[in-house]
């Protein structure tokens, strides 16, 4: 599981005003946004017509991460906050720890879709908050050296819900002006959640709880009193960790009564042919490419398109939810721009590597 500094949990436990919860949700939005370049880079590394099953799994996670960002933003809007998507995007650097003080040894990087990268980065990001593991998997990371120093992402979202509930009981009226006209109805844009289409609009503690619990369940899986399930709460698809597990193990996850967990990666194949994956320059920044080179020209177009996407999402969550249509169009443009970047070598000093779409202007220091 991802572990965040428990200071964020403690701040929510002590919250006396809704402003503390707004700050927490702003950090949650940046965390959800931070995963998108990670998964998109891997998706853009796939050569055309190759690794379709693996690509579909990654694409499905990207769509759900966008939905999670939207649910967190709707909740922030409902309690009087202002999502700052462009600023959150500019604050991201790779490789490095994710937002919210997550620093348990995981430094997230941007790289091609390989089994090793899926295991070391994707599955590390999405590891469930549970002691249960599936047969053939490595044991979870050991607990932090200082007890209580870290808490899980599930704990963090739970603390947001608890803080809102406590503030509501105290008469804070957090949802007095939910500004539904500024929120995004996700039913028109994203697949059904929990087996049915949901608006994702937040105007009460109940709807905020449903939105935030959806984020946790789709990412980590649904906790059960009697044990564990890799299902994401819909009863039809798996949480992100187990979707990535299918790529790493090369097979679909299926019920298995003989396995200790009741599940095993023993279903149909999910092949990942790494010869059909571009060997991308890792953690690419626009400054990596020589001025005037094909990689630099294509990389500039990609970077500009990504910045335009962030600005458009800013507009979406600040009074123009219908602009999500335009944002989706820019996402398609981003894919086309990425296809132009990977046609070029990374540079004369890196002849074995392919230029990667740059989400950063310069490399992290």
Distance between CA 209 and CA 202 in Å, rounded? 9
Q: Which tens digits make up the pLDDT trace of 69-80?
A: 999 999 999 999
Lowest mean pLDDT among 126-135, 186-195, 196-205, 331-340: 126-135
Q: What pLDDT sits at residue 144?
A: 45
- Beta strands 150-152; 3-5: pairing state: antiparallel
Q: Which tens digits make up the pLDDT trace of 289-303?
A: 999 999 999 999 999
Lowest mean pLDDT among 74-78, 201-205, 241-245: 241-245
Backbone angles phi, psi at 204, to 5 degrees: -160, 170
Q: What pLDDT sits at residue 226?
A: 44
pLDDT tier at 27 (50, 70, 90 boundaries)?
A: very high
C-alpha torsion angle, residues 44, 47, 51, 52 (rounded to 10): 70
Q: Which tens digits make up the pLDDT trace of 136-167?
A: 554 445 444 345 555 677 788 989 999 999 99
Q: Is the pLDDT of residue 243 over 70?
A: yes
Distance between CA 145 and CA 152 in Å, rounded? 15
Q: What pLDDT sits at residue 188?
A: 79
The structure tokens 């050296």 sit at 145
Burial degree of 273 (CB within 10 A; 0-12, 13-18, 19+): exposed
Average pLDDT, the chain: 87
Mean pLDDT of 6-23: 90
Mean pLDDT of 357-361: 96
Mean pLDDT of 171-194: 86
For residue 211, CA distances in Å to 162, 314, 331 come to: 14, 20, 24
Give the percent of the chain with pLDDT over 70.
84
Q: Where are the alpha helices (DSSP H) in the chain?
A: 6-13, 18-44, 52-78, 85-90, 115-117, 123-126, 153-169, 205-220, 240-249, 294-316, 324-341
């Amino acid at each position: 599981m991802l572990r965040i500094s428990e200071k964020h949990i403690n701040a929510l436990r002590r919250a006396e005003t809704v402003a503390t919860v707004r700050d927490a949700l702003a950090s949650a939005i940046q965390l959800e946004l931070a995963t998108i370049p990670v998964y998109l880079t891997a998706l853009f590394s796939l050569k055309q017509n190759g690794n379709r099953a693996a690509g579909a799994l990654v694409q499905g996670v990207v769509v759900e991460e966008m939905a999670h960002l939207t649910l967190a933003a709707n909740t922030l809007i409902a309690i009087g906050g202002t999502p700052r998507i462009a600023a959150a995007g500019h604050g991201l650097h790779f490789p490095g720890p994710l937002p919210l003080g997550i620093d348990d040894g995981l430094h997230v990087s941007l790289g091609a879709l390989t089994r090793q990268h899926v295991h070391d980065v994707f599955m590390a990001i999405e590891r469930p908050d549970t002691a249960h593991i599936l047969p053939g998997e490595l044991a979870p990371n050991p607990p932090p050296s200082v007890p209580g120093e870290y808490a899980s992402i599930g704990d963090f979202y739970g603390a947001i819900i608890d803080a809102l509930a406590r503030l509501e009981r105290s008469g804070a009226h957090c949802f007095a002006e939910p500004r539904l006209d500024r929120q995004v109805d996700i039913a028109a844009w994203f697949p059904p959640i929990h087996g049915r289409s949901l608006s994702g609009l937040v105007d009460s503690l109940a709807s905020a709880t449903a939105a935030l619990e959806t984020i946790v369940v789709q990412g980590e899986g649904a906790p059960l009193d009697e044990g564990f399930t890799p299902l994401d709460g819909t009863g039809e698809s798996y949480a992100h960790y187990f979707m990535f597990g299918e790529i790493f193990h090369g097979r679909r996850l299926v019920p298995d009564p003989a396995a200790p967990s009741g599940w095993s990666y023993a279903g149909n194949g999910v092949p990942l042919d790494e010869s059909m994956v571009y060997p991308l320059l890792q953690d690419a920044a626009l400054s990596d490419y020589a001025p005037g080179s094909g990689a630099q020209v294509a990389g500039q177009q990609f970077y500009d398109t990504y910045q335009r996407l962030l600005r458009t999402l800013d507009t979406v969550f600040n009074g123009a939810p219908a602009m999500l249509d335009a944002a989706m169009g820019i996402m398609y443009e981003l894919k086309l721009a990425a296809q132009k970047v990977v046609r070029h070598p990374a540079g004369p000093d890196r002849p074995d590597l392919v230029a990667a779409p740059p989400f950063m202007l310069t490399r992290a220091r």
